[in-house]
Amino acid sequence: MREQAGSTNIIIDDTTLRDGEQTAGVVFSKRDKIAIARMLDSIGVQELECGIPAMGREEREGIRALVDLGLNARLIAWNRALVPDIQASIDCGISAVDISLPVSDIMIRNKIRKSRSWVREQLKTALGFAKQHGLYVSVGGEDASRADHAFLVELMRITLQMGGDRFRFCDTLGILDPFGMYDRIRALREAVPELAIEVHTHNDFGMATANTIAGIRAGATFANTTVNGLGERAGNAALEEVVMGLRHACAMDTGIASHRFRELSLFVSRASRRPLPPWKAVVGESVFAHESGLHTDGVLKNPSNYEGFDPAEVGLSRSIVVGKHSGSSGLIDRYRAMGIAVSRSEATRLVERVRRVAQRTRRPLTNEQLLRLYDGRGAEIPANSFCVC
C-alpha cells in the first residue's frame, strides 16, 4: 500500500458539513455531524467547513459541539458578508470564517440587487470586523467563474491589504472545464501572488474533481471537497476522488490517510440517506470487481494491468465475478478459490455454459450455481432460484 507520495502544501477544506448538507433534502443529525467530523479529522483532513451560524440556534449548537471536540482540523464557518453573521460565528467559539459575496455582475445585479461598489464596501466592512476579532478569513467569491477578472483582482487586493488569509474562487454553477479553470486560477495567481487561492467546484457537468485538480495545478493551495461528492445540485468535488486523483494522476500527496475512505463513504451515505452507487469512482463496491475475460486474466497475472491503484489504499478489496463476459482464467481462479482444480480445457467447456446461464438470468453466477455446472447439473437450475450478486 502506498499512502505517501511526495507530500505537498495542499490543504483540503472539506465542506461535507456545509455544502454537503446543502444537498436538497439532506439533514445530518448532530450525532452524525460529530462522527463525520471525527472521522475526517482522524484521517488527517486539515480543515472542515462546519456550518452556517446565521441559520439559528440549533445550527449554532451543532457548531459549538464540533468546536468543543478540540479536533486537530481547523473549523471554518460560512457567513454572508454581514457583521451579524460573523458575530454569530464568533458566538459559537469559531476562529476561522468564510465571508462570502457574490462577485459576478449577474449575481450582483439579479441576486443581491446591489452594485460592484456595494460589494467592495461590504467586503471591507465584514473583513474589517472579522479581522478586528482576530479571525482567520477566507473571502468567498461566489460565482467567481462568471465574474470579471479585473474585479476579482481588485477584491483579492482588498482582501490582501486588509489581512484576509485567502480568496475562494467558486465555480458556483459548475460551468468551467479544466482548461478554463486552469487559465482563470493561473491568471489570478499571477495578478496577486501573495494571496493564497482556494478552489470550490460543482459537478453540474461532471467536472468538479477535474476542475479542482486543474485549479491546484494552476497554483491554488486550498481545495474544497465533500465526501461522496455531496453538495448543491449535482454536488461538489468528492474528497476521495480529489485525494486519490492528486496522488495517482499528479503525484501530489495531501497526507490524508485514504485507507478509511470506503468506511467514511458508507457512513456519510447512510447519514445523508443518499445511496452510494456501486460504480462510484474510488469507493464504489464494484470498482475493483473484474468480470471480462481478458481483464480478469490480466489482473490475475498482475493487478496493475487493470487497476490504477491497490484497492487496499481506500479500504476496498478486489473481486473476480463470473458472468457473461468471463473467460477461462477467471473461471479457473474462481473454482480454485472454491477448492476445485479445473483444467483449461474443462474451463473452456464450462465458460460456454456459464455464458448461457448468465444470459438467461442476466446476472453473475453464485458459487452454488458454479458447483452445479461443474457437477453437470446446470440445466436443472430454475431461473427464479438465482440470487443477485
Ligand X SMILES: O=C(O)CCC(=O)C(=O)O
Contact footprint for ligand ACO (CB under 6 A): 19, 22, 52, 54-55, 78, 80-82, 100-102, 112-113, 142, 172, 232
Q: Is 140 in the site for ligand X (CB under 6 A)?
A: yes
Using the 8-state DSSP alphabet, how is residue 315 labeled?
T
Instruction: Report the nearest approach of ligand X to the CB of residue 83 (Å).
Output: 17
Binding partner of 265, given ligand X, ligand ACO, none, CB within 5-8 angstroms per partner class? none
Enclosing H/E stretch for 141? strand 136-142
Please, which residues bridge with residue 319 across strands? 289
What is the footprint of ligand X within residues 59-98 (CB under 6 A)? 98
> Residue of minimal CB distance from ligand X?
140
Nearer to ligand ACO, 175 or 281 (CB): 175
Instruction: Name the residue with cell 474528497.
Output: 239
Please, which residues bridge with residue 238 across strands? 226
Q: What is the DSSP string of 194-232?
A: TSEEEEEEB-TTS-HHHHHHHHHHTT--EEEEBGGG-SS
Binding partner of 181, given ligand X, ligand ACO, none, CB within 5-8 angstroms per partner class? none
Look at residue 349 and give its three-state secondary structure. helix
Q: Is 297 in the site for ligand X (CB under 6 A)?
A: no
CA 168 from centre of chain: 18
**Cα separation of 116 and 383, whole Å?**
68
Instruction: Report the nearest approach of ligand ACO to the CB of residue 265 (Å).
Output: 22
Q: Is 290 in the site for ligand X (CB under 6 A)?
A: no
Nearer to ligand ACO, 143 or 333 (CB): 143
Q: By the 8 A CB rule, do 52 and 78 touch?
A: yes
**Size of the residue set binding ligand X (CB under 6 A):** 10
Q: Is the dihedral of CA 365, 371, 372, 376 positive or negative?
A: positive
Enclosing H/E stretch for 155? helix 149-161
Nearer to ligand X, 98 or 313 (CB): 98
Instruction: Report the nearest approach of ligand X to the CB of residue 170 (Å).
Output: 3
Q: Is 253 in the site for ligand X (CB under 6 A)?
A: no
Q: Is 172 in the site for ligand X (CB under 6 A)?
A: yes
Instruction: Report the nearest approach of ligand ACO to the CB of residue 113 (Å).
Output: 6
Nearer to ligand X, 170 or 214 (CB): 170
